[in-house]
Structure formats: C-alpha cells, structure tokens
Amino acid sequence: MNSSRQAISVENLHKSFGANEVLKGVDLTATGGEVISVLGSSGSGKSTLLRCINLLEIPNSGTIRVAGEEVLMKKNRRGENQPADKRQVERIRSKLAMVFQQFNLWSHMTILENVMEAPVHVLKQAKKVARDRAIHYLEKVGIGDKLDAYPVHLSGGQQQRAAIEHRAESVRGELERHRISSQALQVQRETIYRQLNANGHDIEQVLETMPEGATEDEWQRSLERVATRIARLGPINLAAIDEYNLQSERKNYLDLQNEDLETALETLQSAIRKIDKETRNRFRDTFDKVNNGLQDLFPRVFGGGSAYLEMTGDDLLDTGISIMARPPGKKNSTIHLLSGGEKALTAIALVFSIFQLNPAPFCMLDEVDAPLDDANVGRYARMVKEMSEKVQFIYITHNKISMELADQLMGVTMHEPGVSRLVSVDVEEAAELAAS
C-alpha cells in the first residue's frame, strides 16, 4: 500500500449497544505504514472502534474509507446500518491485515471469557448472547481454536495490574452492596417516620415514653399477642369503611354526571322547541306565499280555471302537500284525471310560483312544451318571457313558437355529412338584419 496515500479514514463514527453509546462522532485518519495508538480506560470503546474498522461491527452512522474506497452501507428494517455488498466487504477486509489490537487480558480468564467481559458486565448482556457473539468474532479473526486457552503470555506487570484491577472490582462490588443496603435501611427508616406521623405520633415523644430495656423482640411478641386476640374476634370486614367511602365518592360523581346530563337535555329540548316553532312559522309563511302565487299564475297559464295547495295533515312538521288543479270547463276531483299537457302546465305554474318566492339565478327547462298544443305553447312562452326579467331561462325545445320568443338561439346543424356545427343566433340582430 502506498505510504503517502490514506489507508484508513473514519468520519463522524457513532456506535451504540442499546441505550449505551460507545462511539460518539469519532474521526480518524491513517496512512500506509503509520502506527497509531488509541488510549482509553476499560469500556471506553477502543475495541469497538477496531471492530468497526475491521468491519466486524457495523456502526450506527458515519463513513469508513479504506484505500480511498468507501464502505457502502444500507438500512435494514430496524433502521440500522449494514454493508450493502458482501463482496465489497470481503475485498476491503483483505486490505486491513495490519489493523490489529493488543488486548490487555485478565490473567485468570480464558480468551473467550475476556472477550465476553465487557458485553456481560458493562452492557449487561445475556451470557449466552455475549458468548455467541464472542465466538463469532474470534472465529472471524482466526483464533476460534483457542477459545479455552489462558493468556499466560502476559508480562509480570500486566499480570500484577490484572490482579489489582480484579481486587478493586471486588471491593467496588462490596461497596455497592453496602450502599444498596444503606439505602434500603434509609427507606425503611423514612417509612417508619411517615407511619408514625400518619398515626399522630411524634418520634421524640415515643422514644421518651418507651420503657427502659425495651427490645425489638419484646415488642414483636407483644404485637403478635395483640394480633392473636384480634384474630379470635372472628372475620370482620375491615374494608367496610373504605368501601363505603369509595361508593360514596362514586355516588357523588354519578349525581354530578346526572345533573349535567339533565341540564344538557333541557337545553337540547329547549333548542328543539325553538327550532320547531321557527320551522312551523316559516313553513306556514312559505306555503301561503307559494299557494297564492299558484292561484295567481294558474289562470294566466290556462286562460282560466283554478288551482290551490292543501296540507294532508295537522302537524306542520310532518304533513304532506297535495295540489288540486281544475282547468276551465273541468270538474275533476283529482289531478290524475288531467291530460299530460294539463299536468305539464300545472307543474309550470307551480315552479314559477316558487321562483317568484325565491328566484334562482337561472332555470333550465328541457322539452317542457313537448306535450302542449300551439295555444298552450304560446301561453307557456309568454310566461317564460315575463319571468325572464327576474330569472335567466335556458330551455331546450323543438317548437318554433317557443323559438320565436327567445332572445338567443343555439343549435347544432350538419351542413356536411358527418360534420356537426354549432350555430348561435341573436334574434334581435337577425330581425334587424332581415328588416334592412
């Protein structure tokens, strides 16, 4: 490898095991032939960094380049980094033969136990999982056959350091156990203080009134005697007071909920009554106006006769409406006895009476004059002409009488076979052109 060229480049490398982040944004650059020492305490991430460089561990994030070639990463389903190409990993790993680690091993452990030390005691990893991972790593670096070998090659200073660290670890463990025991006693003491205060006792007064020579065993035996006398009283529902308080609180809560519901129900019923009253008033007013408009327009459409609307029920909220129409010279008892043209004119009179009440921007009529004779078509066309002052009408017709009274004509013609053409004619302009 060219010594002037970067052999390894690591940028912003992050690696974590669970919630423990071991590597935090590590940057490292090394050229061919260069020797770099990475110093740090136990568990600081030296081994993790070397495993990431040797591609035995995949970092959570960051970039690794070997001889200028970047290791391509991709995300798995859990969002973790993993190499994208196994062939690239094998090719790059062959260039890392000189990247190694000299382990400071414990003299009393095998090689396998030393590799398992950090995952088990620092990361709290299960021993079986740590053992499987350690065997996997040792097999990858070619020493899988030495799992049970002891590191007897350590120097005397290293062995002495390992023994001291082992004793220090034991002392730290003993201190931790004493600390936990002290905390437990402190919690127990605070609990007893709270119980005495809850029962209305003062610790100082209790200590003053306590007989001299009283011991814990004596008071414990006294407590057991009292408990035995209480047990002879038979089964007593000691939770009755608590149950009563619980049920009383629930009753109060339900009473408040019921009061809120009754208030809401009364509010809704009041709103419904107001809506019903307003609906009845508006419906009655609208019905009368439409009925008056129908009685006015029907004789104009038919040239006589009468028509009116009537309700089929007493309740204005759910009543139906029927229409009675009698053209000139007829004494029919129902609208079903009218002809198709008479029904059409009656419907026109009803629609126009509604338009008079609440005019729409425009109205489209499709072949309304189809069932009418020429006399009725004339009446219909004049009515549309009159209503067009308030409402814009668009109607489809084939009747020439209706066409004559229109202001604008639009039609489709076929001047040449197979070719349709849209024709628009302004009737007033056409009349002026014809007169000139």
Same domain membership, residue 109 and residue 44:
yes
Whether residue 122 is contained in a domain is answered as: yes
Same domain membership, residue 138 and residue 24:
yes
* Number of domains the chain is built from: 3
As to burial, measured by CB atoms within 10 angstroms (0-12 exposed, 13-18 middle, 19+ buried), residue 168 is: exposed
Same domain membership, residue 17 and residue 114:
yes
Same domain membership, residue 120 and residue 23:
yes
Backbone angles phi, psi at 21, to 5 degrees: -90, 115
Same domain membership, residue 182 and residue 95:
no
Same domain membership, residue 111 and residue 13:
yes
Q: Are strands 362-366 and 392-396 parallel, antiparallel or unpaired?
A: parallel
As to burial, measured by CB atoms within 10 angstroms (0-12 exposed, 13-18 middle, 19+ buried), residue 251 is: exposed
- So what's the pLDDT on residue 107? 56
- So what's the pLDDT on residue 105? 56
- So what's the pLDDT on residue 25? 87
CATH number of the domain where residue 108 is located: 3.40.50.300
Which segments of the chain have a pLDDT < 50? 1-4, 98, 102-103, 152-156
Q: Could you give the CA distance from residue 304 to residue 327 in angstroms, rounded to a whole number? A: 7
Q: Could you give the CA distance from residue 338 to residue 229 in angstroms, rounded to a whole number? A: 103
Same domain membership, residue 73 and residue 193:
no
Whether residue 435 is contained in a domain is answered as: yes
Among left, alpha and beta (phi > 0; psi -120 to 50; other), residue 408 is: beta
Q: Could you give the CA distance from residue 82 to residue 86 in angstroms, rounded to a whole number? A: 10
Whether residue 273 is contained in a domain is answered as: no
User: Is the separation of the CB atoms in 361 and 392 below 8 Å?
Assistant: yes
Whether residue 58 is contained in a domain is answered as: yes
In eight-state DSSP terms, residue 136 is H
The 3-state DSSP class for residue 334 equals coil
Q: Which helix (H) or strand (E) holds 111?
A: helix 111-117
Whether residue 105 is contained in a domain is answered as: yes
Same domain membership, residue 31 and residue 63:
yes
Whether residue 221 is contained in a domain is answered as: no
Same domain membership, residue 171 and residue 120:
no
Give start and end residues of each alpha helix (H) in 199-316.
Answer: 203-209, 216-232, 240-302
- pTM beyond cutoff 0.85: no
How long, in residues, is the chain? 436
Same domain membership, residue 176 and residue 130:
no
Last residue of a domain, one of 151, 178, 213: 151
Summarised one tens digit per residue, pLDDT across range 287-316 is 999 999 888 888 888 888 888 898 888 888
Q: If you average pLDDT over every residue of the chain, what do you get? A: 80
Token pair 């306590």 in the structure block, residue = 210
Whether residue 233 is contained in a domain is answered as: no
The 3-state DSSP class for residue 337 equals helix
Q: Could you give the CA distance from residue 347 to residue 159 in angstroms, rounded to a whole number? A: 112
Same domain membership, residue 92 and residue 199:
no
- So what's the pLDDT on residue 35? 62
Q: How far is CA 109 from CA 31, 113, 316, 362, in A?
A: 35, 6, 97, 97
Whether residue 306 is contained in a domain is answered as: no
171: domain range? 165-205
Torsion of CA 301, 304, 309, 312, to 10 degrees: -130
Which one, of 318, 367, 332, lies nearest residue 347 by Cα?
Answer: 367
